[in-house]
Amino acid sequence: MVVVSAPPLLTQRNVLSAVAGVCLFFLFLYHMTSSPTQRGPVRTYDGGVDIVRRKSPPTKQELGRAAWMLMHSIAGNFDDEPTVERRDAAQSFVRGLLELFPCSVCSDDFKERILTKYPIDVSSRRAFSLWTCKVHNEVNGKLNKPLVPCEHFDRFYLGIGEH
């Protein structure tokens, strides 16, 4: 008798994918959320790389905007027919982001209220994109912000890495 078991969710690859995603998120956040009024002096080091320093940490709103943009961008460029490994990596990314998100009130509410209503769907690019739109609308509704139509949402972020 041969026993076949499902692959473990916490493989080294999945953990590394989640960590890499979170690192990308903070790199993206650093560059996208600092406005000219929040920037300190620009320093140029050998090689001509400009380093911009923020004068204050990002706000909860800035973190949220950056997280949503990154999540929508990843979902919009996800595979139409993802492999099991890619689906696992996408789920690990979302769960890792929620686990490590600096606003615990935000992430706890998302995990307890929203994931119960809308389990993560990474079965395809369209499904993942629509899931991110639905859960974003759920958060926006709680914050009395406008909702966005989700019908063509999966096409908005498609090809973002090609420009």
pTM over 0.85: no
Residues of the chain whose pLDDT is less than 50?
4, 23, 27, 29, 31-39, 41-45, 49
Report whether 100 contacts 22 (CB < 8 A): yes
Fold of 12-162: Four Helix Bundle (Hemerythrin (Met), subunit A) (1.20.120)
> What's the confidence (pLDDT) of residue 37?
46
Give how far Cα 27 sits from Cα of 70, 74, 140, 163, Å. Answer: 11, 15, 24, 19
Beta-strand relationship, 39-45 and 49-54:
antiparallel
Query: What's the start-to-end Cα distance of the chain, in Å?
Result: 53
| Annotated domain spans of the chain | 12-162
Burial of 64 (0-12, 13-18, 19+ CB in 10 A): middle
The per-residue pLDDT for range 115-151, each reduced to its tens digit, is: 999 999 999 999 999 999 999 999 999 999 999 888 8
> What's the confidence (pLDDT) of residue 127?
96
> What's the confidence (pLDDT) of residue 39?
47
